[in-house]
Amino acid sequence: MNGYELSYVALSSANPAGVAEVLGEDLGMCGGTVKGTGGPDVFAFAAGRSTICVFDCDHPLLDRSGTAGLDHIALAVADPEAAANRHSLGTLGRGVEQGIADTRQVRVDPDETAGVHVRFAEPITTPGNGGGMIERIDHLGVASLDVSSDEQIFAHTLGCPVESRQTDMEISLPVESFTSDKYGVVYHNRTPNPLGGLRVLFVSIGDCELEFLQEFDPHQDRQIEYGHAGTTMQDQGAIGRFVSKRGRGLHHIALKTPDIDSTLAYLTERGRTTIDQVGRPGSRRARIGFLHPKALGGILLHFVERTEI
């Protein structure tokens, strides 16, 4: 099989209207609302072939009520129960439920899917054709303990294609100098010293990827300096702290944009706080830049500018 399409990703916020304002008014994404079965309506924004759904953090359809961030993903299937049974995946014992927009869904036990809260769900109708500064979801970041185990689950069990594997590393390059008043200066490069980084696995779900991130050194204690440009080591420390505090699972959402510098500058003009003021190097030869989580009520989002290969 060729894996699954992503029906939607669920974002949880204490201020869903504020998140909708950033996505809709600031970024120009096409959106609306869909029925939130058992709770308030849910904001929904078209993002390529999938949908970004923004829930109130206390919504009963969420898996982790009261927690801001990425809550779950829904894989589009015609028969949710049959899909879960086909892969012999354990569920949360609730059977078939009503999800958003009165679609049927089955919740998979996250222990079966590397800590990622996954649902098999009937597709929802996307609210239009997207637009604005965003082309689609580029990827959904997942804090991982073992990318090899993640690959076994999502590529082999669920049949999702591996898009690529990568190692992101920050390296110290020691240099010796020999200075002479007669012979001048000679520089000698010594053996590079790896400081740490991330092992990365990209698995495709529809027109985007799950990006599994496993840090090299879980004992490092590096603080994020918000308001300053990020680094690979900063990203590594963020993954380690997330796993220590909340365990493995969905970590951030990344949106593909054709001009990251313009996107970040425009958001700054709109009064949104960013971590990166201009794009910096990221995975897959991309340039990336993060919004400050407070701009989206605790949801971590970054932008990606990259050329497809």
CATH number at residue 32: 3.10.180.10
Angle subtended at Cα 39 by Cα 37 and Cα 42, rounded to the nearest 5 degrees: 75
Q: Is residue 120 part of a domain?
A: yes
Q: Is residue 257 part of a domain?
A: yes
pTM of the model: 0.86
Q: Is residue 1 part of a domain?
A: no
Taking only the tens place, the pLDDT of each residue in 34-80 is: 999 999 999 999 999 999 999 999 999 999 999 999 999 999 999 99
Give the residue ranges of DSSP H helices in 135-280.
147-151, 232-246, 260-269
pLDDT > 90 in the chain, percent: 74
Q: Is residue 105 part of a domain?
A: yes
Taking only the tens place, the pLDDT of each residue in 249-302 is: 999 999 999 999 999 999 999 999 999 999 999 999 999 999 999 999 999 999
- What's the pLDDT at 223? 42
| Domain ranges, residue 164 | 6-305
Sequence letter at residue 1: M
- What's the pLDDT at 236? 46
Q: Is residue 11 part of a domain?
A: yes
Asked whether the predicted pLDDT for residue 161 surpasses 90, the reply is yes
Of the listed ranges 114-128, 159-173, 187-201, 210-224, the least confidently predicted one is: 210-224
What total of structural domains would you count in the chain?
1
